[in-house]
Chain A
Amino acid sequence: MHDNHTTTSAAFWATLKRDLLIAFKKKNDVVNPFMFFIIVVSLFPIGISPESERLTEIAAGVIWISVLLASMLSMDSLYRSDYEDGSLEQLLLSPHPLFFLVLAKNISHWLVSGLPVVLVSPLLAYMLALPQEAYGTLVLSLLLGTPIMSLIGSIAVALTVGLGSRGLILAVITLPMSVPVLIFGTLAVQATLNSLSPVGYLSLMLVMLSVSISLAPLASAAALRISVN
């Protein structure tokens, strides 16, 4: 009877597959962060000034902040339906270490909501007249930054999983925490613009990322146990 029990890795992949499947079925989770990002960015030329000199100055900051917002708000969909329909309880009751299952959920969520935003950023960088040479750094810094924010966000989501509407409280909790990422991300881009090397900042973000990958899922798991209670 105990023969055909699943290995943890099997459970990991099953969870990852399932979440991707769900995301793929309700396309909103994929499209909305993306759309939101584009819309918010394009509000700034309207609200501030359409002149490209002005835009160039603010481009990096605006893109980074919009990404920050997009990924924070996309977190709302993580764990929510699982909590409402009880799948989360099933997850907590599985014999496998929660760390990996949570990690699987985070990864799939980032693939679905974080990655597309990063990939479209050069386009918007162009629209905001960011000098070409900074594109590479921008994308790289976003590639390193967005997973960090997803991982931090995941903790906040897990803490508020019981709440009906939590988009705002999520942002309120997590935006302050993502200030360091914002700082280093924008500094990296600025550095490239001043033709300095951004490597220092980027490697710092890499460190942050590896730390948060190894710690954040633990916190999320603990948070889930707390709030399903």
Chain B
Amino acid sequence: MLDAIQFSSFAEFVDMGGYGFNVWSVYALFAVFVAVNLILPLRKKEKIIQQLKRRALIDAEIQSEESTDEQ
């Protein structure tokens, strides 16, 4: 199994037969791309829930005020 690995040393692995920059930047790009499009939606969900909570409180406040205004 392990001998199927194409690289005898880590340096070789990094170097990618001279194409290190391109190969690694492609994989880096890909990683960023995947991470961003998974993490941003998750973060956004938190934000939305926070906002909705705040909004709910404000509305409750408005309603109570209006009811007092009527009296």
The answer to A–B direct touch (Cβ < 8 A) is: no
A residues near B (Cβ < 8 Å) are none
B residues near A (Cβ < 8 Å) are none
